[in-house]
Structure 1
Amino acid sequence: MNIYAINLLLAGLWAALAGAFTPANLVMGFAVGFVALWAAKPLFAREDGYFLRAPRLTWLAAVFLYDLVVSSLAVAAEVLRVRPRNRPGIVATPLDARSGAELLTVSSLVTLTPGTLSLDVSDDGGTLYVHGMFVEDAEELRGSVAALKAPVRRAFA
């Protein structure tokens, strides 16, 4: 039994009962369904970690959205600036991904963040090469990538 599929079904039923399939109704239905399934957790024969993974994925989405907004504002300010102050550079960032899915997720989130781009991964998968638009300090860019690595690791644990 896939608990996630049941939660999606409950979200759809909530939106149907509300009378409109809007994003707000679907999110609310998903949240109410999650709480209902969590309360009924003892009825499930097997626990598959869904109730741990869903909050971790939500936290990962929140961290990424925050980075997305902050980076977008920085890039927009740079584009509007009369004298650009950007200092592009390539930084080797150490990775300690346990799986290919973790590696793919981190590199994709880095690429989706404005002002950064994943260029390559070393053959052993231990280093991610990142191009940054604002590289005043290489450690700062490594820190921002590390800030993405931690929630990804927790989400995939």
Structure 2
Amino acid sequence: MNGPAPTRRQRLRSRITAVVGLVLVWNLLWGAFTWLNTISGALVAVALLVVFPLPAVTFGGRIRPLGAVRFFARFFADLVVASFQVAFLAFRPGEPKSAIVAVRLRVTTDLNMTLVAEAVSLVPGSLIAEADQQTGTLYIHMLGVRDAEHLEHLRAEVLRLEARLIRAVGSDAELRAVNAPREEPAT
């Protein structure tokens, strides 16, 4: 379901972006932005990318500022609420119930799966147990599951998160995919 192979220019831009990102992280790890840290970081970044080349990831969407604001506002609200929920579970007597839920995403590109998985994992109480790229399914360990109805609610929340993410950075085709009526797979 991935698009066409990236052009030479796209690959070069991707590598330059990776080097800049790695140099930024290198400087942050050393705690100071100096010429020595920047040059040594660039050398380390280039060596890493030669030894461990990154797979080609194409970005076919576009950034929509209003969608991005909505995504981050809801994401930060989810962080706060989930933090209190996990704290409540930690102090409540008894062992909290948890479950692994399978969520089949509507947009199965590598980039979308990665972004959704990262957003889900950053919220306290949820963690990606496995990602199946073939089927576009994320298996998520969720803490504090009450019953089957609550589990379905959590699954729907992940799909809403995916929709907000696509509305923030998705392509027109991806927007159509998340806005289309959901067909439940036969079991």
Report the TM-score when normalising by structure 2: 0.53
Q: Tell me which protein shows more helix as a share of its residues.
A: 1
Structure 1 unaligned residues grouped into runs of 5+: 1-47
Q: Give how far 1:147 is off.
A: 2.1
Contact 2:105–2:138, Cα closer than 8 Å, also in 1? yes
Q: How many residues align?
A: 107
Q: Give how far 1:84 is off.
A: 3.0
Partner of 1:76: 87
Tell me which of 142, 149, 152 is aligned to 2:155: 142
Tell me the amino acid that sits aligned with residue 147 of structure 1: R
Q: Give how far 1:99 is off.
A: 2.6
Partner of 2:122: 112
Contact 1:115–1:132, Cα closer than 8 Å, also in 2? yes
| Alpha-carbon separation, structure 2, partners of 1:153 and 1:49 | 9
Partner of 1:3: none
Tell me the amino acid that sits aligned with residue 84 of structure 1: G
SS of match in other structure, 1:120:
strand
| Alpha-carbon separation, structure 1, partners of 2:141 and 2:129 | 7
Q: Give how far 1:98 is off.
A: 4.7
Structure 2 unaligned residues grouped into runs of 5+: 1-60, 171-187
Tell me the amino acid that sits aligned with residue 88 of structure 1: S
Tell me which of 154, 158, 164 is aligned to 1:151: 164
Which string of whole-angstrom CA distances, capped at 9 and with x for unpartnered residues, describes residues 108-140 of structure 1?
A: 011000000011111414211000012223202
- Alpha-carbon RMSD across the aligned residues, in angstroms, is 1.9
Partner of 2:136: 126
Tell me the amino acid that sits aligned with residue 75 of structure 1: V
Q: 1:120 to 1:61 in 2, by over 3 A?
A: same
Contact 1:102–1:156, Cα closer than 8 Å, also in 2? no
Q: 1:154 to 1:98 in 2, by over 3 A?
A: farther
Tell me the amino acid that sits aligned with residue 146 of structure 1: L
Partner of 1:13: none
SS of match in other structure, 1:65:
helix
Q: 1:98 to 1:122 in 2, by over 3 A?
A: closer
| Alpha-carbon separation, structure 2, partners of 1:156 and 1:124 | 22
Q: Give how far 1:85 is off.
A: 5.3
Residues 1:88 and 2:101 are matched in the alignment: no
- Percentage of pairs with the same residue: 33
Report the TM-score when normalising by structure 1: 0.62
Contact 2:99–2:142, Cα closer than 8 Å, also in 1? yes
